[in-house]
């Protein structure tokens, strides 16, 4: 009788010990679930939706990758916008310079050639803008500097005594078929001019099977015309004090070229602004898609905080009851066993 009672009591203690261990494990897992916000051990409890969950996470990763790529393009279009704004400001300054220096008496002491050289170098500096190691105005040849030296170092393009519209050395062509020495385009192109000019080759995939072209090239007519206009003005100073009438005619011709340049630059800025808007719309679209994917993923793998909290409360109550029962059992003496 004693042996039977002792064995039964020992078995009861072992059972209660196992129960406490199980309840403790379950409570720890529930606390882990509450802290992480995820259902237990990742896919446990969502195995029936594991394939769907994997597909959703794959789509989320793809959307996030496209988002990062679009951000990079947005940064570059912002650089284009700021650069264009600065060059338009410089072109406006150049127009003011030409108006003031049209008077030969004023120009004689105003050092117009030096003013032109300063403007040329400022324009050249902007055209060498980089995003990291990438020259943003070099088209697909982004590792190559679009300029060879400084623009102010270019030798005379329109010689002394040249008559505008009659015997200028070479009629201005923003994008000629060949690149004669010291003639427009004023770039470090070699024989690869199309790689600088064809901005349609500069772009990225913003979504599956959706590619967006963007970019602004140093061969843009606006850039080339503003450089050419300032060079016309600079070279006109060779006639200052020698043939003032021809000097004035050449300054007027440079100003006309500058007006065309400003119109071209504003068109380029407008086109870049449209690309900025398009990239912004694409980014908004991806942001909405990412939000929806996260909601769908959450509906599968996220734990319900209220449900988990209720479960924890129940487990804690059961565990406390088990501790109480175990404590009472362990307090039994040999006399209690013999009774």
Structural domain contains residue 32: yes
Structural domain contains residue 259: yes
Same domain as 263, residue 326: no
Residue 199 CA neighbour count, 13 Å, CB half: 18
Structural domain contains residue 190: yes
Query: How many domains does the chain fold into?
Result: 2
pLDDT at 261: 93
**56-66 mean pLDDT:** 91
pLDDT at 179: 42
Q: Is the peptide bond before 185 cis (omega within 30 degrees of 0)?
A: yes
Same domain as 309, residue 277: no
Same domain as 120, residue 243: yes
| 274 φ/ψ angles, rounded to the nearest 5 degrees | -65, -40
Same domain as 119, residue 12: no
Alpha carbons 274 and 77: distance in angstroms, whole number: 10
- 212: which 2 tokens? 């967006």
In the chain, % of residues over pLDDT 90 = 41
Domain span at residue 316 reads 2-37+304-338
| 140 φ/ψ angles, rounded to the nearest 5 degrees | -80, -10
Overall size of the chain counted in residues: 339
| pLDDT tens sequence across 221-276 | 889 889 989 999 999 999 999 999 999 999 999 999 999 999 999 999 999 999 99
pLDDT at 61: 92
pLDDT at 35: 56
Structural domain contains residue 50: no
Structural domain contains residue 237: yes
pLDDT at 21: 63
- 153: which 2 tokens? 């170092």
**66-89 mean pLDDT:** 95
Asked if the model's pLDDT at residue 315 lies above 70, the reply is: no
Question: Best-predicted range by mean pLDDT among 13-22, 205-214, 311-320?
Answer: 205-214
Structural domain contains residue 171: yes
Alpha carbons 161 and 143: distance in angstroms, whole number: 40
Same domain as 247, residue 201: yes
CATH value at residue 179: 1.20.1330.10
Interior angle at CA 93, CA 90 and CA 97, nearest 5: 135
Same domain as 156, residue 125: yes
Same domain as 82, residue 152: yes
Same domain as 231, residue 121: yes
Alpha carbons 317 and 296: distance in angstroms, whole number: 34
Return all residues near 106 (Cβ < 8 A) that are at least 6 apart.
Answer: 100
Same domain as 323, residue 234: no
Interior angle at CA 326, CA 338 and CA 13, nearest 5: 60
| pLDDT tens sequence across 97-138 | 999 999 999 999 999 999 999 999 999 999 999 999 999 998
pLDDT at 140: 79
- 45: which 2 tokens? 């409890």
Interior angle at CA 217, CA 213 and CA 222, nearest 5: 120
Same domain as 243, residue 316: no
Structural domain contains residue 200: yes
Structural domain contains residue 58: no
Same domain as 169, residue 23: no
180 confidence band (pLDDT: 50, 70, 90): very low
Same domain as 145, residue 99: yes
């Amino acid at each position: 009788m004693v042996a039977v009672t002792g064995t039964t009591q020992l078995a009861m203690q072992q059972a209660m010990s196992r129960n406490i261990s199980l309840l403790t494990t379950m409570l720890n897992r529930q606390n882990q679930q509450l802290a992480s916000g995820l259902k237990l051990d990742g896919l446990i409890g969502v195995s029936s939706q594991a394939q769907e969950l994997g597909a959703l996470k794959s789509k989320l990763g793809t959307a996030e990758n496209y988002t990062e790529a679009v951000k990079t393009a947005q940064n570059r279009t912002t650089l284009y916008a700021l650069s264009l704004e600065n060059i338009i400001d410089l072109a406006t300054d150049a127009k003011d310079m030409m108006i003031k220096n049209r008077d030969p008496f004023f120009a004689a002491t105003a050092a117009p050639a030096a003013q032109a050289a300063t403007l040329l170098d400022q324009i050249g500096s902007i055209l060498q803008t980089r995003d990291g190691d990438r020259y943003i105005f070099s088209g697909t040849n982004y590792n190559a500097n679009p300029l060879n030296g400084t623009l102010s170092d270019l030798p005379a393009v329109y010689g002394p005594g040249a008559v505008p519209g009659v015997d200028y050395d070479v009629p201005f062509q923003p994008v000629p078929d060949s690149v004669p020495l010291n003639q427009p385009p004023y770039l470090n192109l070699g024989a690869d001019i199309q790689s600088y000019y064809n901005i349609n080759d500069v772009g990225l995939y913003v979504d599956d099977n959706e590619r967006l072209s963007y970019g602004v090239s140093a061969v843009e007519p606006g850039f080339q015309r503003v450089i050419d206009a300032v060079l016309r003005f600079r070279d006109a100073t060779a006639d200052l004090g020698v043939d003032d009438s021809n000097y004035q005619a050449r300054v007027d011709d440079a100003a006309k070229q500058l007006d065309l340049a400003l119109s071209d630059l504003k068109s380029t800025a407008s086109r870049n602004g449209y690309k900025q808007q398009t990239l912004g719309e694409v980014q908004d679209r991806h942001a909405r898609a990412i939000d929806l994917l996260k909601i769908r993923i959450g509906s599968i793998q996220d734990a319900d905080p209220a449900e988990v909290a209720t479960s924890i409360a129940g487990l804690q109550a059961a565990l406390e009851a088990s501790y109480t029962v175990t404590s009472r059992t362990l307090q039994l003496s040999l006399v209690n066993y013999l009774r």
